[in-house]
Amino acid sequence: MLERLKKEVFEANLQLVQDKLVILTWGNASGIDRESNLVVIKPSGVPYHKLKTRDMVVVDMNGKIIEGDLKPSVDLPIHLAIYKNVPNAGGVVHTHSHFATCWAQARKPIPCLGTTHADYFFGDIPLTEMPDTEDYENSIGQQVVKCILQNGAERCKAVLVPGHGPFVWCENVEKSVETAFVLEQLAEMAYHTIVINNGNIKTLEEMYLKKHYERKWGKGAYYGQR
């Protein structure tokens, strides 16, 4: 199971590059094996084109390295905070993708303006509070978890850290990458919608938001082949 997870996390990190969500070393993906409570994550500062499956770092829930010769991502405490507090989280992705990061730097939530957004997220993509600079990564983790729980973990699968960028989680690392990709597309759509409308926007009506989200993710979901 662990070897398979290492391969999945390795491939997920490469997919971030393919989807143009990261450049240089700007981002990371991780996955967790809930049976062993071991987390696999990208090593810190290693360019994506140099990554190998064997480079993935295995840690326990306290961040202790169990397997690997390299240091884990500096964002590990944030990933661990999500895994510890969101039981359904099976993968976590952090990027500095262009448009999502622009919203984070503007310190504005990404508004839900249409049904494309509502198909994936129930309402705006929220902003966390500003983290403390002391114990920085742990503070970000605390703020990310606080924001997720305040907005409902069953619906809030992406948050923006002000001045920093997005963190996304899903049931596995592959789905987390897909969700990060969708988030970037929605961030770009929202930006261009606002530009086209000269800054005047109207968020999607509640009934359409609920209809589109529930038909895909609700108890009576009927979207797709089931």
Q: Are 97 and 165 in contact (CB under 8 A)?
A: yes
Using alpha carbons, select from 91, 119, 120 the residue that is nearest to residue 12: 91
Q: Are 194 and 203 in contact (CB under 8 A)?
A: no
d(CA 80, CA 4): 20
Q: What residues are annotated to the active site?
A: 119, 223
What burial class does residue 134 get, using C-beta atoms within 10 Å of its C-beta: 0-12 exposed, 13-18 middle, 19+ buried?
Answer: exposed
Q: What's the one-letter identity of residue 131?
A: P
